[in-house]
Amino acid sequence: MTVAITAGLLVAGAVYLFMQKEMLRVILGFILLGHAGNMILLAAGGTSRREEPFGAPGDLSAVADPLPQAFVLTAIVIAFSITIFMLVLAVTGREGDDATDGSPEERTEDAR
Amino acid sequence: MLFLALAVTLAACPLAAPLSRLVGRQAGAVLALPLLLSAALLLAGGSPHAVVEQWLPWMPSLGVGLGLRLDGLGLVFSLLVLVVGAGVMLYSTRYLGRERTASFYVLMTAFAAAMLLLVLSDDLVVMFVAWEATTFCSFFLIARSGEGAREPAIRTLLVTAAGGLSLLAAVVVMIVVTGTTRLSEVLAHPVWGSDAAFTVLVAVLLAVAAFTKSAQFPFQSWLPDSMVAITPVSTYLHAAAMVKAGIYLLLRFSPALADVAVWNVLLVSCGLTTALLGAVSALRRHDLKELLAYSTMSQLGLLVAMIGVGTPAALTAAVVHTVAHAVFKSALFMLVGVVDHEAGTRDMRRLAGMRLRMPATAAAMGLAAASMAGVPLLLGFISKESMFAALIESPWGPGLAALMTAAAALTSVFTVAYSARLVLGAFSGRGDRLVREASPLFWGVPALAAAASLALGAYPAPLDAGIGGAASVAAGSEQEVHLALWHGLNAELAVSAVVIALGVALVLGRRRVDVVLAPLRSPVSGLGVVDALRAGLIRGGGVVGGWSGSTSPRRHLAVPAVCLALIALVGLPGLGELPPVAGDRSRPWDWALVALLAAGVIAAVRVRTRIAAVVVTGVVGFSMMLWFFVLGAVDVAVTQLLVEVLTVCVMVLLLKRLPARFARQTLRRRIPAAVIALAAGLATALGVWALTGRRGLSPAAEYYLREGYEATGGSNIVNTILVDFRALDTLGELTVLGVAGVAIVALLRARPLAASREVDRVTGSPLEDAWQNGAFLRTATRVIGPIIVVMSVVLLFRGHYEPGGGFIAALVGGAGFALLYLAAPRDHRARIRWPYLLLIGLGVVLGTGTGLLGYLEGSFLKPLGTEVLGVSLSTPLLFDVGVYLAVIGVILASLNKLGRDDPDPAAEPPQDPDAGDAADAPGRRPHTPHYHPTHREVKTR
């Protein structure tokens, strides 16, 4: 329940930020979406068993699934490098990080 | 033996380029040898009525293999391909000029190999690949013929590639339905008789494929268009070999499809239409080569119609005519090439102004044209006779038989007329300019082919066995063939006589014929249709692209969010009974984390300044770290913590280049955004609640937990998964990381960073001076720096057993570099100037190299271990070092490229006490005066 709520909150925040015109907020949205994805991965492994997966096998009934953890670990680092890449996109080229394409309809939507 | 023949032919291909660099156009003489050798091998190893098979697994899991099968049909076609190919190679040595010939020879040999593979292949997938290879060779051979050849080459490619798609569809359908990719098994499958829908579908698809390749109506237009290619190419591809691929395909599938009405109707109607259309068009041409192109279309039309009739007699006639056509048409193309080469033109209107004294060429062309016209004593006569006979005896009643025979006969009347037009057009000139005979080496090959038309026409017995074998395969039953010049007085002889008489009449009255035909214009031009389709397709693409052409991210990102909500809406009723939740998924203190995270998310969407947004997103990141910790993912939590720190560091570097505040959003925009966001969030929460946590430990997890320690000696199971069990995944991720780093560097080299904002600062405070400002951090770094380095190394080495590993160690190291950067009084003084691209490259190379080491024990990335001087070294550790280097390289790349302005060569050297540090290039920030505390003019701004 708590994990589901967490993932839902993160996705809602991410999608709201996606709808904004500044590239930085879109990037922050992607960071939140990455968190949500990681949370869902861990949820897929099950969150009722929460002991660290270390050492020789003993009683497995309470040990967490190590496979999603490995996925999430690499996912975090990749998301980090992609975040930097997007940040670079935001600060190169046009002045500021307004990401709208300047089409007339988008401008009128903003003006309303 | 079959593999050997194929290998010999293929060997010519890599040989062609160096050879033609070495000896120029003469390379053709050498390259003819492997083709002839291959033909000899097939002749020695195969026999018309036996089958030789060889099989080499290619994709065993799919049952696809390099299966070769030589039967009667394959033998006839492969001999045609190889012998005509060798002849064209020899001919090319004289035809080509001094220009570069390498690409020509490479493509021609590649084409011969592809064609051989096509006719020998016993695997549908291999056959399709070979088919496409011939398409591409044809495209490149046309396209290399110069500027004007570009459009025809593209049109040819479009038409034949469309046919290739049709063949692909047929191949897929056949494989799916019969469950095998072997051509011989597919053809023997009982489904052909039992499943009418399947049979009709495959028949239509195969017919379309063959029609595009063999230039049949309505796909005929590319063939005359492709005549821009040089004559050897036209001879081989567009007369003897590639266009015959379609004929081969039809003959190959004839046993399964000859009784299918759709097949008969399509082939006969399209074939006869093309035959008539081509013959009439040929009569109107003034360009000798174009005339031959239309004649090829017409003759192929007759062949297709014969295959459509489908009786053993008709199939036999088709095989005979295939051989006859290959012989006389290759001779004619080459001879037109000789005339073109010597006279400098192949337009009969210009040739009329010259006198060609070329007795050998003229005689050879006369013979070959007579064979095309079906004059007795020549091979073309025999094939035409057998076609008439098969049509007269066709199985669909006397009415249809008479109609078809009449169409074929009319085509033949025109054939006689255009054959004469060809010879007369070339040699009846009465002008002043004298054109002398070419060297015998030039006309030798086509003359040989023309002579063969005569020899085999007069004494056709040597062909009996081969043609009988091919006809048996095409008919699906044993056929005895006895070709003969004289069959007695019968109906087909009468038709032949009428045809020749009418043809001669047309020749005699050719001026009248020209007058009648000249004003005829086709209402639709095939080429126009192809071009219109192409332009329409591109326009359509533009329209479709326009729907999603915005560069605004929010427009694109809204789509998946809405879709997510829709999927949830649609999927909700289908959920049905859910399995019970396994264990207790929540703990009481989880709620504290949810609350913390919710506060962070709400703040992140509501804040109005960029710096606040970065900070509150950091809050979310730290809550995530706590979540991971609570869920038992220690390594993940540590990674999250470090990434969070570094992300904030990098963002801060960039914030000064962006406006401080976000733009105000109208309510009208905020409300839909909020609705979509809430819907997507709700869908996610619902999905996670319904679809996860409802099972025990997965078998994979159980395996890792039980066997991981034993198998790898590492007690940190997550790390063993990363570097031992699933190292290939990690290597892939490492590469992505490296590519991202390189992309960041490339992007920043290509595009300048946005300028920094002007900031109002309080003058006179210690904060203004970077040196004083950083005193505390600098002192702290002196103490902490070494500790961080040691920690980073320790974390790297203990990762296999306790929390740590390459990722975490590198992030700690990266945090150390970030600290160094922050503590430095000036950007360019920060000791972060490492060769970051080299580090990234080393990391990826080390990871891959470690993987290659695994081959010592049998497979890529297999973990190996050894003890050196009592220290245990293992490849997973080495691999982790690769991870370490790549990650640190990316962090250094971003700190270096984003945190330092590249020195501006135009600017004067900075006047400050720190200048003169030889190791560091002096950086200047024209827009950030606060970084130059000694510049007093700052205050005047």
| Residue A57 in domain | no
CA–CA distance from A50 to each of A37, A63, B859 (Å)?
A: 19, 6, 35
Report residue A20 as tokens: 């904004």
Report residue B891 as tokens: 């962090």
Q: Is the pLDDT of residue B161 over 70?
A: yes
| Residue A71 in domain | yes
Nearest residue on chain A to B899, alpha-carbon basis = A88
Torsion sign over Cα B608, B614, B615, B621: positive
Number of residues in chain B = 941
Report residue B511 as tokens: 């001026």
Mean pLDDT of B340-346: 86
Report the C-alpha gap between B38 and B40 in whole angstroms. Answer: 5
pLDDT in tens, B759-812: 666 677 766 777 777 788 888 888 888 899 889 988 888 887 788 888 889 999
Q: In this complex, which of B617, B627, B811 lies closest to A31 when CB atoms are compared?
A: B617
Report the C-alpha gap between B425 and A5 in whole angstroms. Answer: 87
Q: Is the pLDDT of residue B913 over 50?
A: no
Which of B9-13, B264-268, B346-350, B458-462 has maximum average pLDDT?
B264-268
Q: What local confidence, expressed as pLDDT, does residue B579 receive?
A: 85
Q: Inter-chain contact B554–A70, Cβ cutoff 8 Å? A: no
Question: β-pairing, B433-436 with B354-357?
Answer: parallel
Q: Is the pLDDT of residue B226 over 50?
A: yes
Range with the poorest average pLDDT among B246-260, B595-609, B847-861: B847-861
SS (H, E, C) A77-105: HHHHHHHHHHHHHHHECCCCCECCCCCHH
Report the C-alpha gap between B484 and B842 in whole angstroms. Answer: 75
Mean pLDDT of A45-49: 86
Q: Is the pLDDT of residue B601 over 90?
A: yes
CA–CA distance from B123 to each of A83, B62, B64, B128, B184 (Å)?
A: 48, 12, 7, 9, 8
Report the C-alpha gap between B901 and B599 in whole angstroms. Answer: 37
Name the residue with tokens 């070419």. Answer: B438
Q: Inter-chain contact A24–B698, Cβ cutoff 8 Å? A: no
Report residue B60 as tokens: 């065993």
| Residue A84 in domain | yes
Q: What local confidence, expressed as pLDDT, does residue B26 receive?
A: 84
Residue B198 near residue B172 (C-beta atoms within 8 A):
no
Report the C-alpha gap between B30 and B18 in whole angstroms. Answer: 12
Mean pLDDT of B153-159: 87
Mean pLDDT of B755-759: 73
Question: What percent of chain B is modeled with pLDDT above 90?
Answer: 25
Mean pLDDT of B181-197: 87
Confidence of residue B616 (pLDDT cuts 50, 70, 90): very high
pLDDT in tens, B273-330: 999 989 988 888 888 888 999 999 999 999 999 999 988 889 999 999 999 999 999 9
B604 CB neighbours in chain A (<8 A) are: 13, 17, 28, 32
Question: What percent of chain B is modeled with pLDDT above 70?
Answer: 93
Report the C-alpha gap between B635 and B807 in whole angstroms. Answer: 9
φ, ψ for residue B652 (rounded to 5)? -60, -35
Q: Which of B689, B717, B817 to mutate to test the interface with A (most CBs of A within 10 A)?
A: B717
For residue A17, give the CATH number of its domain: 1.10.287.3510
Instruction: Tell me the three state secondary structure of residue A25.
Output: helix
Q: What local confidence, expressed as pLDDT, does residue B565 receive?
A: 92
Q: Is the pLDDT of residue B931 over 70?
A: no
Report the C-alpha gap between B531 and B521 in whole angstroms. Answer: 18
| Residue A40 in domain | yes
Q: Inter-chain contact B680–A15, Cβ cutoff 8 Å? A: yes
Report the C-alpha gap between B656 and B442 in whole angstroms. Answer: 77
Average pLDDT score over chain B: 84
Residue A95 near residue A101 (C-beta atoms within 8 A):
no
Confidence of residue B150 (pLDDT cuts 50, 70, 90): confident
Residue B3: HSE in the Cβ half-sphere, 13 Å Cα cutoff: 8
Q: Inter-chain contact A101–B550, Cβ cutoff 8 Å? A: yes
Q: Is the pLDDT of residue B940 over 60?
A: no
In B169-222, which ranges are E strands? none
Identify the residue with better confidence: B907 or B99.
Answer: B99
Mean pLDDT of B450-478: 87
- To the nearest whole Å, the CA of A112 is away from the closest chain B CA by 7
CA dihedral B783, B784, B788, B789 (to 10 degrees): -30
Report residue B762 as tokens: 């309080």
For A53, the enclosing helix (H) or strand (E) is: none
For B896, the enclosing helix (H) or strand (E) is: helix B875-899
Q: Is the pLDDT of residue B925 over 60?
A: no
Q: Is the pLDDT of residue B602 over 70?
A: yes
* A58 in reach of chain B (CB within 8 A): no
pLDDT in tens, B85-131: 999 999 988 888 777 788 888 899 999 999 999 999 998 999 999 99
Confidence of residue B688 (pLDDT cuts 50, 70, 90): very high
Number of domains in chain A: 1
Q: Inter-chain contact A43–B692, Cβ cutoff 8 Å? A: yes
Q: What local confidence, expressed as pLDDT, does residue B47 receive?
A: 81
Range with the poorest average pLDDT among A1-15, B58-72, B683-697, B867-881: B867-881
The one-letter amino acid code at B471 reads: A
Mean pLDDT of B584-610: 91
Report the C-alpha gap between B702 and B591 in whole angstroms. Answer: 29
Report the C-alpha gap between B897 and B881 in whole angstroms. Answer: 24
Q: What local confidence, expressed as pLDDT, does residue B169 receive?
A: 95
Q: What local confidence, expressed as pLDDT, does residue B867 receive?
A: 60
Q: What local confidence, expressed as pLDDT, does residue B555 receive?
A: 81
Domain boundaries, given as residue ranges, for chain B: 274-522, 558-567+587-687+696-757+784-844+870-904
Q: Is the pLDDT of residue B932 over 60?
A: no
Report residue A82 as tokens: 């992609």
Q: Is the pLDDT of residue A111 over 60?
A: no
Range of the domain at A86: 2-51+63-111
pLDDT in tens, B476-511: 888 888 887 777 778 888 888 888 899 888 888 888
Question: What would the DSSP string read from start to end of B370-385?
Answer: HHHHT-TTSHHHHHHH
Q: What local confidence, expressed as pLDDT, does residue B901 receive?
A: 61
Confidence of residue A95 (pLDDT cuts 50, 70, 90): low
Quick one: chain B helix, strand, coil %, rounded to 5?
75, 5, 25
Q: Is the pLDDT of residue B903 over 60?
A: no
Report the C-alpha gap between B285 and B347 in whole angstroms. Answer: 9
Q: What local confidence, expressed as pLDDT, does residue B151 receive?
A: 85
Confidence of residue B675 (pLDDT cuts 50, 70, 90): very high
Residue B185 near residue B229 (C-beta atoms within 8 A):
no
Confidence of residue B909 (pLDDT cuts 50, 70, 90): very low
- To the nearest whole Å, the CA of B870 is away from the closest chain A CA by 23
* A104 in reach of chain B (CB within 8 A): no
User: Over the range B697-720, which residues count as b (16 or more CB within 10 Å of their CB) and which as e?
Assistant: beeebeebbeebbeebbbbbbbbb
Nearest residue on chain A to B694, alpha-carbon basis = A46
Q: What local confidence, expressed as pLDDT, does residue B912 receive?
A: 41
Please tell me whether the overall predicted TM-score, pTM, comes out greater than 0.80 for this model: no
Nearest residue on chain A to B704, alpha-carbon basis = A66
Q: What local confidence, expressed as pLDDT, does residue B625 receive?
A: 95
Torsion sign over Cα B899, B905, B907, B909: positive
Mean pLDDT of B341-367: 87
Question: β-pairing, B871-874 with B865-868?
Answer: antiparallel
Residue A106 near residue A100 (C-beta atoms within 8 A):
yes
Report the C-alpha gap between B82 and B87 in whole angstroms. Answer: 9
Torsion sign over Cα A69, A70, A73, A78: negative
Mean pLDDT of B629-643: 92
Nearest residue on chain A to B665, alpha-carbon basis = A110
φ, ψ for residue B57 (rounded to 5)? -60, 140
Nearest residue on chain A to B620, alpha-carbon basis = A32
A36 CB neighbours in chain B (<8 A) are: 684
B550 CB neighbours in chain A (<8 A) are: 101, 103, 106
* Nearest residue to B170 via CA among B111, B220, B210: B210
Confidence of residue A110 (pLDDT cuts 50, 70, 90): very low
Mean pLDDT of B403-418: 91
* Nearest residue to B876 via CA among B864, B858, B860: B864
Q: Is the pLDDT of residue B870 over 60?
A: no
**A-B C-beta contacts closer than 8 Å:** 346
Q: What local confidence, expressed as pLDDT, does residue B643 receive?
A: 93
